Structure 1
Amino acid sequence: MPERPPVLTKRTLDKDLDKLMHVEDAAKYVSRKLVAPGIGLVFLGLAMLFSGVYVFDRPGAGLVIAAAALAAYMAMNIGANDVTNNVGAAVGARAMTMAQALVIAAIFEILGATISGGEVVRTISSSIIDASQVPAGTLSWIMMAALMAAALWINLATWMNAPVSTTHAIVGAVIGAGFGAVGSGPINWHVMLEITIAWITSPLLGGVIAAGLLYLVKTLIIYRQDKIAAARRWVPVLIALMIGGFASYMMLQLASAGRFSSPVILLFGLMMGVLGWFIAKPFVRRQSRDLENRNSSLRVLFQLPLIGSAALLSFAHGANDVSNAVGPLSAIVRVAIGHPLGDAGGPPLWVMLIGAFGISVGLLLFGPRLIRLVGEQITKLNPMRAYCVALSTALTVIVASWLGMPVSTTHIAVGSVFGVGFFREWYTRNSKRRIEYMRRKAEVWMIEEPDDPNTYEVRRRYLVRRSHVMSILAAWVVTVPISATLAAVIYWIMFALFV
């Protein structure tokens, strides 16, 4: 009987090697989760070094550098929580991938913050609390406590997948820290009343504008016999509206320096809108060739306008929400260099850059967590509906930024999504044009149509998830008191430790 060949493998060694490989795989898996926080910490260090270059020879340099780190941390949290406002609709409608959306948002956030963010920054830094009634040193610690409290609350909300308002967080934190430091006297309650009114009206306005745009799209394009011909006529008009509104807003930024009057601004916006119409018309005609006369074909024609509106919304968000991060920092810097808070000068450019890049770093590292909630889970979005949401939100935020009002882009974006959803419910039940269109379609395809379009089955089908209404409203309601209370506590701790 032949001898069996010797076994050359060592089972014990193989088992040990397998264990080592499993440990290495586990270590790689865990380390991947630490990459984003590590990059965030590197950015905080860079922000401190960047601010130190400008203030190292000032008396309060240490406080300013620490405030710069907190502002960078706040900006990253804003990017992580608010990115869904900019691109959630476009991603939910599958007009762009997640990676494309994040890159576009990051670029236009930086542009919006650096070009047009100064007006709202002045509101946060000097209008909520009357600086003349607060000692300069106390004001700096108030802003430090506000930054830390707002950033911590937004970080917690992002971890819980709650799209809270970063604007509510910072405004509530400034009030809470100020109240904890000097009482209610220095708080400008009339400014707070204006901000509160803007908070209430802006989501309603966003919802109304979004519903109005969707009504025009449904009436002029979707429920027409020849959808493609109607789209060739009206999609360039919608693109022209977007371009004209954005051009007018950019002129308004220059008008703040007294360079242009209102008629000139309106005329320039009209001219740019007409130019956009001339450019978009042949492009849409070329895109619409060989498309079938069906709703799915319209999605192709709305894809590029939706990407443009998402970029415009990112610009508007950067212009408005950068103030939530660098408004308190701007106040601290002005105290440190001895400039009065109420003067007409804007915040330093390096302050704006910390906020702009912080928002972009935050949305690139942590932003995708909340995109699906607004983009997919409240109501079903296609490119036409998503375009109405994005354009409505952008126009509302742009007007608010021009007026210097720190409105909540979260409120406006979610309000626009709800406006589209509730309008669809109403339109499905009450539109005579839609009912006639469905009857003609039923005759063509020999489909048995219901006797009454307002049957129980139609009434039963809601197009907006009501559960999200209550959960989002609850997150909005608790943000101000939580951030205010936390800011007051943090101020007392800071005062006991450092003052």
Structure 2
Amino acid sequence: MEEFADEALWLVIVSFIVAFVLAFGIGANDVANSFGTSVGSKVLTVRSACILATIFEMAGAILIGYKVSDTMRKGILDLSMYNGQEMELMLGCLSSLIGSGIWLIAATFLKLPISGTHSIVGATVGFSLVCRGTKGLKLQTLGTIIASWFISPVMSGIVSVILYKAINVLIINAETPLTPALRALPFFYMATISVNIFSIVLDGPKLLYLDNIPLWLAITISLSIGLIVAIGIQLFMVPWQRRQVIEDIRKSSNKDVQFTFGESTDSSRDGSPRTSRMMEEGTAGRDLPVIIEVPANNNGYILAQSESLSDLPSKESKTGNDILSPKLNLPTNGNVTPAYGLSPNSSAVPLIREKTIEPMQMDVKIEGDDSPEIARVFSFLQVLTASFGSFAHGGNDVSNAIGPLIAVWLIYIEGTVLQKSETPLFILIYGGIGIAVGLWIWGRRVIKTIGEDLTKITPSTGFTIEIGAAFTVLIASKIGIPISTTHCKVGSVVFVGWVSSSSSSGVDWHLFRNIIFAWVVTVPVAGLLSGGFMAVLRPLLL
């Protein structure tokens, strides 16, 4: 045993180093999926997203990651095929770490969100084909994993779309959207927290003494904690949210508009020009005459009419409060010149604007945007569900990164390929640290792809994307199927982006095509890299 330990020590050391690089790649690529939508909808900054991701990735890896790591290191390969050939299996695990790590780093450089799960599974299959051909592969388990790659984005997308439609009908398009949004807030928090707690306490890790809790007790604990959270939300957060929304809208409604006025020339009765000066600057409120564009005259100026703000069409808020009454946002600065031929002292003077001035932007809700009150309510929910998604991602993908490393470590400790020990906690933490470092250093590349480039994301759509993808990943993690977090998140983004827009242009299909291509080639590329390293290293080192 001592001779084997001395001989295999270098493999353990190198495997730890390479596993950290792989975890770095997963952090830079896969973890971006967790908070990409929150950053894209401007709910979180990149820095805030990195802080939350670090916390919840680590928590997910420690609390639920053990189960998936068992599948990755025991479910794909028939380890008994390597009985007596422990060094060969350890070298194969090292090759899989190298192959998947290289591909993840390359994909991150290209800003393509690929699957860490795909990479590690493909790399594992690659070295096994070199060593044992198809004999060492558990094809049924492998088939289940491959099927989940196609099912997971569709399932995640459907869950997100159903939730989006429900929120759209019951809240966003309601007569008073703020009221049902605040009414639903405790329920959303309770559901999210309860599912999270349930995933932890049911069949939890032995390390936390949660492996013997019966189903009824797990349900009772999770619902009780969720109910306590819901009561707290109803008593404290709902009133606070209502005050914040009303205050935000009051501030935006009372904002003054600054205009700069210049010289104006009118005509006397004999036709000679006469010049007078208007005030240099003026401040106007809601009764300020508003410029309405009409076709330009021969001099290239845009003629305008003077109308009262109250006569203009605007989108009414449906809360019934004066605070949320019709409003119009004018630009804070603009150059305005009265027309020739009339005195600037006239209260009914038509105005003209120089053709260099940008068109005025009215406070009309752009298609796909959330109203201010809905955006504020769902911003908090999106942060919660993004954290939920990060927790699920930690349980699923941290395990993928360190699955081969766990195999190397336990073979080294036990001296046999048939490992019986529980997944070591310190290795789960080690993988979580590597993922956090990758996210902080390089994560913003893929965050932009997921959160901004693929489709327009608002707090309400971001919430549905997060909850659909996270729910799918978490359930799969508890079942023990290492599905792709990337596929779930991208599936939800595309489904919701497509449904929420009035046309297919709501999704960048060219970018989506590139992502699909990266998905398709991930397994063979990682497998070829891993198999190639194994083919080169085995005759040299064994």
Query: Which TM bucket (shorter chain)?
Result: 0.7 to 0.9
How many Å separate the matches in 1 of 2:397 and 2:155?
18
2:157 counterpart (189, 194, 207): 207
How many Å separate the matches in 2 of 1:344 and 1:424?
49
Residue 244 of structure 1 corresponds to 194
Native 8 Å contact 2:115 2:484 kept in 1? yes
Measured at CA, do residues 255 and 162 of structure 1 come closer, stay the same or move farther in structure 2, by a change above 3 Å? closer
Native 8 Å contact 1:58 1:337 kept in 2? no
2:518 counterpart (475, 480, 486): 475
Residue 495 of structure 1 corresponds to 538
Residue 234 of structure 1 corresponds to 184
State the 1:141 CA deviation.
1.1
After TM superposition, the score normalised by the length of structure 2 is 0.73
When you count helix as a share of all residues, which structure comes out higher?
A: 1
Residue 388 of structure 1 corresponds to 464
How many Å separate the matches in 1 of 2:45 and 2:474?
25
Native 8 Å contact 1:125 1:341 kept in 2? no
- Structure 1 position 172 matched with structure 2 position 122: yes
Residue 446 of structure 1 corresponds to none
Measured at CA, do residues 496 and 340 of structure 1 come closer, stay the same or move farther in structure 2, by a change above 3 Å? closer
- Structure 1 position 162 matched with structure 2 position 112: yes
- Structure 1 position 221 matched with structure 2 position 171: yes
State the 1:472 CA deviation.
1.1
Measured at CA, do residues 336 and 262 of structure 1 come closer, stay the same or move farther in structure 2, by a change above 3 Å? same
**Structure label with greater radius of gyration:** 2
State the 1:495 CA deviation.
1.3
State the 1:374 CA deviation.
0.8
Counterparts in 2 of 1:268-287, with a 5 A limit?
268-282=221-235, 283-287=237-241
Residue 188 of structure 1 corresponds to 138
Measured at CA, do residues 208 and 342 of structure 1 come closer, stay the same or move farther in structure 2, by a change above 3 Å? farther
Q: Secondary structure at the match of 2:505?
A: coil
Describe the superposition over 1:45-85 as per-residue Cα deviations: whole angstroms up to 9, x where unpaired.
xxxxxxxxxx9975522110111001111000100011221
Describe the superposition over 1:458-483 as per-residue Cα deviations: whole angstroms up to 9, x where unpaired.
xx563222212211111100000111
How many Å separate the matches in 2 of 1:471 and 1:329?
31
Describe the superposition over 1:140-188 as per-residue Cα deviations: whole angstroms up to 9, x where unpaired.
1111111000000111111111111111011000001110112110111
After TM superposition, the score normalised by the length of structure 1 is 0.79
How many Å separate the matches in 1 of 2:491 and 2:223?
28
State the 1:284 CA deviation.
1.9
How many Å separate the matches in 1 of 2:480 and 2:507?
32
Counterparts in 2 of 1:309-324, with a 5 A limit?
309-324=385-400
How many Å separate the matches in 2 of 1:259 and 1:340?
28
Measured at CA, do residues 56 and 95 of structure 1 come closer, stay the same or move farther in structure 2, by a change above 3 Å? farther
How many Å separate the matches in 1 of 2:217 and 2:386?
27
Residue 133 of structure 1 corresponds to 81
Native 8 Å contact 2:64 2:204 kept in 1? no
1:305 counterpart (368, 376, 381): 381
How many Å separate the matches in 1 of 2:522 and 2:5?
38
Give aligned pairs, total: 412
Residue 50 of structure 2 corresponds to 102
How many Å separate the matches in 1 of 2:126 and 2:65?
24
How many Å separate the matches in 2 of 1:127 and 1:418?
31
- Please tell me the residue identity of whatever aligns with 2:484: S
How many Å separate the matches in 1 of 2:5 and 2:143?
40
Q: Secondary structure at the match of 1:114?
A: helix
Q: Secondary structure at the match of 2:135?
A: coil
Measured at CA, do residues 381 and 56 of structure 1 come closer, stay the same or move farther in structure 2, by a change above 3 Å? farther
Residue 506 of structure 2 corresponds to 463
Of 486-495 and 254-263, deviating more is 254-263
- Structure 1 position 143 matched with structure 2 position 93: yes
State the 1:262 CA deviation.
2.1
Measured at CA, do residues 96 and 58 of structure 1 come closer, stay the same or move farther in structure 2, by a change above 3 Å? same
Native 8 Å contact 1:143 1:328 kept in 2? yes
Describe the superposition over 1:390-437 as per-residue Cα deviations: whole angstroms up to 9, x where unpaired.
111211111111111111110011011112112224xx5xxxxxxxxx
Q: Secondary structure at the match of 1:462?
A: helix
- Structure 1 position 262 matched with structure 2 position 215: yes
Q: Secondary structure at the match of 2:202?
A: helix
State the 1:270 CA deviation.
2.3
Native 8 Å contact 1:249 1:402 kept in 2? yes
How many Å separate the matches in 1 of 2:198 and 2:63?
14
RMSD: 1.9
Native 8 Å contact 2:156 2:468 kept in 1? yes
Measured at CA, do residues 195 and 461 of structure 1 come closer, stay the same or move farther in structure 2, by a change above 3 Å? closer
Native 8 Å contact 2:65 2:398 kept in 1? yes
Measured at CA, do residues 144 and 461 of structure 1 come closer, stay the same or move farther in structure 2, by a change above 3 Å? closer
How many Å separate the matches in 2 of 1:491 and 1:344?
26
- Structure 1 position 370 matched with structure 2 position 446: yes
- Please tell me the residue identity of whatever aligns with 1:63: L
Native 8 Å contact 1:128 1:187 kept in 2? yes
Residue 356 of structure 1 corresponds to 432
**What is the identity percentage for the equivalent residue pairs of Structure 1 and Structure 2?**
31
Describe the superposition over 1:309-351 as per-residue Cα deviations: whole angstroms up to 9, x where unpaired.
1112111111110122211011111221225555553222222
